[in-house]
Amino acid sequence: MNLTPDPGHVRLALHGGAGDPPPDADGRAQREALRAIAVQAHALLVAGGSALDAVTLAVERLEECPLFNAGVGAVLNRDGRPELDAAVMDGRVRACGAVAGLARVKSPVRLARAILERTPHVFFAGAGAEALARELGLEMVEPDHFITDARRRQLAQARKAGAITLDHDHESAGDRPRDDDAAFGTVGAVARDARGHLAAATSTGGLTNKLPGRVGDSAVIGAGTFADDHSCAVSCTGTGEAFIRAGFGLAVHARLSWCGWDLDRACAEALHAVRRYGGRGGCIAVDRDGQLALPFNARSMYRAWVGADGRVHTASRPQDAD
Amino acid sequence: MNLTPDPGHVRLALHGGAGDPPPDADGRAQREALRAIAVQAHALLVAGGSALDAVTLAVERLEECPLFNAGVGAVLNRDGRPELDAAVMDGRVRACGAVAGLARVKSPVRLARAILERTPHVFFAGAGAEALARELGLEMVEPDHFITDARRRQLAQARKAGAITLDHDHESAGDRPRDDDAAFGTVGAVARDARGHLAAATSTGGLTNKLPGRVGDSAVIGAGTFADDHSCAVSCTGTGEAFIRAGFGLAVHARLSWCGWDLDRACAEALHAVRRYGGRGGCIAVDRDGQLALPFNARSMYRAWVGADGRVHTASRPQDAD
């Protein structure tokens, strides 16, 4: 990459999770929130800001919005606590940062970014990750900061239904994990900046009623989050276990880099693998030539994007873009 | 796969870490330990045991051996505590289990295996992972169980040298992480069983003097641990951050599956990428046809293997096999 800087190279896509919302949910509020955040991140890119800054900003804003399953409004684990995962990756040299199991760091994606820039490591989990956040001077909050009444109700329902519980009798591994519509809502962003550099970021509260300590694909570099200037930037949402088994981001990268496939075909194949491993969801992706792909195999995926026309579009169902 | 069962299909490789041991270290004790464990895992395979059982058994025995950086004898983090990571993957359907940040679970690889078989999730970290281990009835120990005098001395030396400390001034990401010879010692196993199924397992204490909460590549499915019957099984050792950025296991898989490359070439390319991302180390790998590859770019890698001749070999330097 390293093109001559040109706002015409700029591309952006955001997601606010994929799933099967009730038929009466029109997703208008989510789309408006995605639009406002896309406008802000797009302005940063057009002004010459980096793809890395744009995806970090977009995901931080999505974390602050209670409509999505990340940061404020994240789903709750079996113990009624939020446990937040996030990752960010810079396509220039594949520098990356990832975090898992946070309850006290205000912006998980900002901690991932700080790990990328200020430590010799790439991945931190649990209490050590929170201690690092304090040491790096990031803003800390109480776990209650993230909890909304809607998520408390959702957890109560999930507990009643027994969804995502341990299954001691289940020895065969082929059909795991269970499909759970409450699983969705992860947020993410991918961008291509005016110089042609790529970046991706993802942040999530994971699965409602998940076992404490469970880590999904968002924090797994190469699965739910991946970026390389030579190929593409990808951020996923859905049943994390299946995205990890599919090695989603790296599979798309390999098809582009080594097989000459286009982005649509590569994402479709990876999503097919997710289905084979018992999962559902979607992804947002941008390739080095500026092509966008936003496929999903659930009924809807909240999404916003800016393609070659330079305009912000949003959609939730397969065909309802504006 | 699913060949007609035949002990002739059996292949096995173990590693006990790669690095630059002092010139006077002959590695005899490590090689003898690897040999004894390889004999045991090979016998299991010849008797018709599964690749998944063989790699789990081998890694559990390596965790018990104080000569390696996994389980008993694991290196210590900045706070003087062990923090253990492990993963296991079944090539049949890519079922997998991974754990990070353990200090009280006697066998991290056994917990990874239990996650694979008995939960709907694939990855657990920190306190939640230890609570899960208790819930699943796994054997628990005090952190002191893992700590040896040699590791205490190593930590004191690393602290004195300031290795693997936070570098607040370091904003450029291209040359991270720092190379640290004390980093090496991770253990792993790959196997092909009499039916042609593949599996991989890895277990590690990570980096001496690492920041608490740091997770390396061993627990990242698709990076340090990967298995798919259609291609290969891989277990890595070395500077974990660089193996994560390289997406080591999935890169080898993609080259075999989609480019028709042989295992040697695919592993060499992935190891070249590791070097590009500032890291060193090695891997053990077996492909679906029974080819073995055990490359490394450090001065030595403790290893044992059983190829088509059905005999157990061991080596540490590039050319000292017996």
pLDDT digits (tens, 9 = 90+) for A88-136: 999 999 999 999 999 999 999 999 999 999 999 999 999 999 999 999 9
Q: How far apart are CA B69 and CA B146, in angstroms?
A: 10
B203-213, pLDDT tens digit by residue?
999 888 889 99
A175 pLDDT higher than 70 = no
Cα torsion A50, A53, A56, A62 to 10°: value is -90
DSSP A317: S
Q: How far apart are CA A39 and CA A313, in angstroms?
A: 10
Whether B204 is catalytic: no
Question: Does B259 reside within a domain?
Answer: yes
Question: Does B31 reside within a domain?
Answer: yes
Contact status, residue B52 vs residue B199, Cβ threshold 8 Å: yes
Q: How far apart are CA B166 and CA A82, in angstroms?
A: 28
Residues of B in contact with A136 (CB under 8 A): 166, 168
Phi-psi region of B101 (alpha: psi -120 to 50; beta: other; left: phi over 0): left
A80 pLDDT higher than 80 = yes
Helix runs in chain A, H state only: 28-46, 51-64, 108-118, 126-135, 149-161, 240-246, 248-259, 263-276
Alpha-carbon Rg for chain A in angstroms: 18
Question: Does A113 reside within a domain?
Answer: no
Question: Does A108 reside within a domain?
Answer: no
- Structure token digits, residue A60: 């931080």
Residues of B in contact with A213 (CB under 8 A): 124-132
pLDDT (mean) for B288-306: 96
C-beta neighbour count of B148 within 10 angstroms? 16
Number of domains in chain B: 1
Residues of B in contact with A100 (CB under 8 A): 100, 125, 215
B80-134, pLDDT tens digit by residue?
999 999 999 999 999 999 999 999 999 999 999 999 999 999 999 999 999 999 9
CATH of the domain at B279: 3.60.20.30
Alpha-carbon Rg for chain B in angstroms: 18
Among chain A residues, the shortest Cα distance to B79 is held by A128
A264-305, pLDDT tens digit by residue?
999 999 999 999 999 999 999 999 999 999 999 998 999 999
Question: Does B58 reside within a domain?
Answer: yes
- Mean residue pLDDT of chain B comes to 91
At B1, the pLDDT band (50, 70, 90 cuts) reads low
B90 touches chain A (CB under 8 A): yes
Furthest C-alpha separation in chain B: 59
- Structure token digits, residue B30: 């490590």
- Structure token digits, residue B191: 């196997």
B180 pLDDT higher than 50 = no
Question: Does A294 reside within a domain?
Answer: yes
At A21, the pLDDT band (50, 70, 90 cuts) reads confident
Question: Does B62 reside within a domain?
Answer: yes
In which domain, by residue range, is A169 found?
7-94+144-315
Question: Does A21 reside within a domain?
Answer: yes
Sheet holding A198-204, edge to edge: A123-125, A95-102, A84-90, A198-204, A187-192, A11-19, A300-306, A312-315
- Are β-strands A198-204 and A187-192 bridged in parallel, bridged antiparallel, or unpaired? antiparallel
pTM, 2 dp: 0.93
pLDDT of residue A164: 54
Q: How far apart are CA A148 and CA A246, in angstroms?
A: 32
